Amino acid sequence: MIIILTNNNDNLRADGRVFNELRPLKIEAGVLEKADGSAYLEIGGNKILAAVYGPRELHVRRIMRPDMAVIRCRYNMAPFSVGERKRPGPDRRSVEISKITADALRPAIFLEKFPRSTIDVFIEILEAEGGTRCAGITAASVALADAGIPMKDLVASCAAGKANGNVILDLSEDEDKEGEADLPIAIMPRSGEISLLQMDGHMTPDEFDKALDLAIEGCKQISEAQKNAIKDRYGEENG
């Protein structure tokens, strides 16, 4: 049986996008003087800073690896980033997102080049409007490249999902909150490898397949913007 997924609302979403359209995206590399690498990203109403320190020697024996670097991530939402002031400091959600961010970035980095070292990634959500984990990974990847850390590829991340019965790309905060499902992914576009896939909510297997295809296409577009951000900073030959 072939299920044809149609869009009910003349292809228009509350913010005017069609089902397979990303929110307006802007990425800038190298925005901070003091970090080894940095990036600023806006997608829709999200405003995100990522900063990287390292690779540098790690003295914490408990987590140090003699054969490779470790990557440590801290995802943090500023108290003023959401409608209702968020209590400062880590919570269960930010600890989880920090972990999955490190997991999503790790396979892209040539960690074995830096034994006994750490690469520290800080993601600050200045303003949040849905999809911050993906936007944070996308920004962090550009900051890693800006820090000169050798990578197989720039990890690109975005979500697809289902809202109002439609399978759609890059859910806004309202679509995420009111919708039926959210499927954030991260990929390395050169190999097609998926380094993050999470899902909450409910979709049929066909809807899942369509959402995954949409998210992969979205990541490919984001990947182009990442490469352009690096090119803008360092010139064509290093992009």
Q: Which residues bind ligand UDP (CB under 6 A)?
A: 82-83, 86, 93, 128-133, 173, 176
3-state SS record for 163-178: ECCEEEECCCHHHHHH
Measure the CA angle with vertex 7, ends 5 and 11; round to 5°: 145
Minimum Å distance from CB 107 to ligand UDP? 20
- Distance of closest approach, residue 173 Cβ to ligand UDP, in angstroms: 4
Distances (CA, A) of 202 to 59, 180, 182, 185, 189: 44, 6, 9, 16, 27
The residue (of 13 and 133) whose beta carbon lies closer to ligand UDP is: 133
Shortest Cβ distance from residue 162 to ligand UDP (Å)?
14
The region that residue 82 occupies, defined by phi over 0 for left and psi between -120 and 50 for alpha, beta otherwise, is beta
In this complex, which beta carbon is closest to ligand UDP, that of residue 3 or of residue 95? 95
Q: How far is the CB of 177 from ligand UDP (least distance, A)?
A: 7
Q: Which is nearer to ligand UDP, 20 or 81 (CB)?
A: 81
CA nearest to 198, candidates 62, 65, 97, 54:
97
Q: What are phi and psi of 154, to 5 degrees?
A: -85, 120
CB of 217: closest distance to ligand UDP in angstroms? 19
Residue 233 is inside which H or E element, if any? helix 205-234
CB nearer ligand UDP, residue 101 or residue 223: 101
120, 37 contact by CB (below 8 A) = no
Residue closer to ligand UDP by CB (options 173, 217) is 173
